[in-house]
Amino acid sequence: MQDVHIGTLLAMLDLLGIAVFAASGALAAAHKQQTLVTFAFFALVTGVGGGTVRDLLIGAPVFWVHDWRYPAASLATAMLVWFTPRHWWRPKALDWFDAVGLAAYAVFGAAKSLAFGIAPLPAVMMGVITACVGGIIRDVLANEPSILLRPELYVTAAALASALFMGLVVLGAPNPVAAVIAALAGFGLRGLAIWKQLALPAYRG
């Protein structure tokens, strides 16, 4: 079974990341009042986009092509959003779902890259790519300003989760412990950024 060597908790983080990113994609389609087919497409490409780029870059089999659970999770999430009342989803729901996916997927991307023999520094970068690319694709499809261009911290939160996981593993922490600590830290920073509009200083020339 794919990714067994990474550990059960990290595999759960992978599915969690897929599901919440898929939810953010479906919510983007909901805000545009799109059809069920568009819901499903947005959910799928948002859910698997970052992981697909990661697998292509590290030379791994593209995960969702070889394991039906991942596209199934994306499509099931799209159906869930479609059939639930609109008032259940507050305007900030997309941001908070994205924050959970960002933290979980940054950790899993780094862990999988490390397991495939990638050195720690590029593995951290793979974690960031895993976490961010799906949201970028979603925003492009929805014709919205890219999440990268919003003022509050985004890539920084993914980098924190990925780098903290890697640092803890290098220092000898067990993968599950490192994964939980790093994912919570990444989510905490992203959540604080959403709440307080935290941002890095912009270039002023």
Q: How far is CA 134 from the centre of its chain?
A: 7
What local confidence, expressed as pLDDT, does residue 3 receive? 42
What local confidence, expressed as pLDDT, does residue 198 receive? 84
Which stretches does DSSP call E strand in 21-131?
none
pTM: 0.88
CA atoms within 13 A on the CB side of 22: 26
> 191-198 — which CB contacts under 8 Å span 24+ positions?
191/96, 191/99, 193/152, 193/153, 193/154, 193/156, 193/157, 194/92, 194/95, 194/96, 194/99, 194/152, 197/151, 197/152, 198/152, 198/153
Instruction: Give the dihedral sign, CA 62/64/65/68.
Output: positive
CA–CA distances in Å: residue 149 to residues 28, 121, 144: 17, 25, 10
pLDDT of the chain along its 205 residues, tens only?
334 444 676 677 778 778 888 988 998 998 888 999 999 999 999 999 999 999 999 999 999 999 999 999 999 999 999 998 877 777 777 788 889 889 989 999 999 999 999 999 999 999 999 999 998 999 999 998 887 877 779 999 999 999 999 999 999 999 889 999 999 999 999 999 988 888 888 788 7
What local confidence, expressed as pLDDT, does residue 10 receive? 64
What local confidence, expressed as pLDDT, does residue 93 receive? 75
